[in-house]
Structure 1
Amino acid sequence: MDITFFTFTISAFVTFLTVIDPVGLAPIVVGLTSHFNPVQRNAIVAKATFISAGIILFFAVVGRFLLDRLNIQLYAFNVAGGVLLFMMAVDMLFGRPSGAKETKEEEEEAMTREDISVFPLAIPLIAGPGTIATTILYVGQASSHPINLIAVGAAIICTLFLAWLAMRSCTLIIKYVGKTGILVLSRILGILLAALAIQFVLNGINTFAHVNNFIK
């Protein structure tokens, strides 16, 4: 197997896994579905997963088109996306709720909604700004090597499956891992996301420098 393809695949999977944070969804789902029975919870989780998959697919297909129509170069989006992901990483490291996923007002509104599969589970907890930015970034990087699109698709599918599994098993995760374990894992993933975010920014700056002949 091509080492570049393998590295790209691992990078895409780790980034999506960190941004979506399947295990971190467990306590949120427990809180939001406390008044539902297990059958209803499972139906909500399945619906949220399919809706978020549709949203991610939409931006994977039209994301680069939107950037081109807005005359936004991919290196600029690399820098902007890297900054957004870095902000999310900082929130994860300090155990703060990320505004890129859900604001306090949105969280309060969600507690009063009957159908939470679309909001806030699918949007913004799973397919939020960070996930959308990551999708456009990796699809843009893979456009010059179509085989890498398979890696991006596989990374998204695997992460969404893990998210579905974690949300479906949320009560077991809370029971055996506990909130402390989830926070520890979230901080570890936050460190990885911070490093990946910085790499996106550096890649964008490097591409900008080459395009404008600052580096030959």
Structure 2
Amino acid sequence: MIEFFDLLLQHTITMMAIVDPLGVSAVMLSLLPSTATKEEVNKIAYKSTLTIIIAFVVVLFTGNFLLKIFGIELDSLKVMGGIVLLMTGIKMVNGAIEGKNQTKEEKEEAKMHEDFSIIPLAIPITFGPGIFATVVILKGHTHTFVELLALVMSFLLVALAVYLSFKNSIYIKKYLGITGQKIISRLMGLIVGAIAVQFILSGIYALLKGYGY
């Protein structure tokens, strides 16, 4: 039981930092039309959250299979995934929330799209390459039902945080402001960067050890 809660806490902190619910809620606000009602915001929050849960389930059960098809070792993905996370962490520390660098045309297209809650908000802004690689890596180190349960429950907690952040994004912006959201995103960026370094170093060490170095 202690092992379960340790894994639950560890996985939740890891994925929460990578997804950054408060940061992506700011992206959601940038895509919302000024005439959006509370009911529309709630609908977007629900559909986006449901989408990332479905994406998580798909990656969870097919990620390792895809690696085997392409002959990719898990440790190789750890190195590449770590590099992607490191780039994301650096952007977050510099105050650039993922998705904020969209062009004016991309934002207009997203606003005109009848269902931007799925694309681009859920995928790839919320569930992007970083969390994709992380889920595959964590699944690769899962060997028991307890470990799998901890991973699934951790992501569900992250999904709940995303839902609440999206649902209350207007109030979050009101009380935290853009500055407050950036401060939190920068702190999350430090955590993401640290996780990335661990992924890269452990992946390189395992690869070198496997090749006899």
Task: Give TM-score, length-normalised by structure 1.
Answer: 0.90
Deviation at 1:55, TM superposition (A): 1.1
Are 1:186 and 2:191 matched, yes or no? no
Check conservation: 1:102, 1:120, Cα contact below 8 A: no
Q: Cα deviation per residue 1:156-177 (whole Å; 9 max; x = unaligned)?
A: 0000000000100011111111
Identical amino acids, percent of aligned pairs = 31
1:75 Cα offset (Å):
0.4
Aligned CA-pair RMSD:
1.9
In the TM superposition, residue 103 of structure 1 has moved relative to its aligned partner by 4.2
Count of aligned residue pairs for this structure pair: 211
The 2-side partners of 1:87 and 1:130 are apart by 10
DSSP-derived class of the 1:48 partner: helix
Alignment of 1:12-91 (within 5 A): 12-33=11-32, 34-91=34-91
**Measured at CA, do residues 108 and 83 of structure 1 come closer, stay the same or move farther in structure 2, by a change above 3 Å?**
farther
Aligned-partner Cα distance in 1 for 2:67–2:107: 30
SS in 1 for 2:112: coil
Larger deviation, residues 55-64 vs 120-129 = 120-129
1:80-159 alignment, distance < 5 Å:
80-98=80-98, 103-104=102-103, 106-142=106-142, 144-159=143-158
CA deviation after TM superposition for structure 1 residue 25, in Å: 2.1
CA distance in 1, matches of 2:114, 2:101: 18
> How far apart, CA to CA, are the structure 1 residues paired with 2:30 and 2:118?
16
The within-5 A match list for 1:164-203 is 164-203=163-202
CA contact (8 A) 2:45 2:117 kept: yes
Where in structure 2 are there 5+ consecutive unaligned residues?
Answer: none
TM-score normalised by structure 2 residue count: 0.91
**Cα drift, residue 102 of structure 1:** 6.8
Amino acid at match of 1:37: T
CA shift in 2, pair 1:15/1:29, >3 Å: same
Consecutive aligned runs of 4 or more in structure 1 exceeding 6 Å deviation: none
- Is the 8 Å Cα contact of residues 67 and 74 (structure 2) preserved in structure 1? yes
* Distance apart, 1:10 and its partner CA: 2.6
Letter of the structure 1 residue corresponding to residue 93 of structure 2: L
Q: In the TM superposition, what is the alpha-carbon distance from 1:94 to its structure 2 partner?
A: 0.3
CA contact (8 A) 1:76 1:204 kept: yes
Q: Cα distance 1:30–1:97, how it changes in 2: closer, same or farther (>3 A)?
A: closer
The answer (yes or no) to whether the contact 1:102–1:125 under 8 Å persists in 2 is no
- Give 1:121 deviation, angstroms: 1.4
Residues 21-77 of structure 1: per-residue CA shift (max 9 Å, x gap):
111122222232233211111112101110111111101100000001100000000
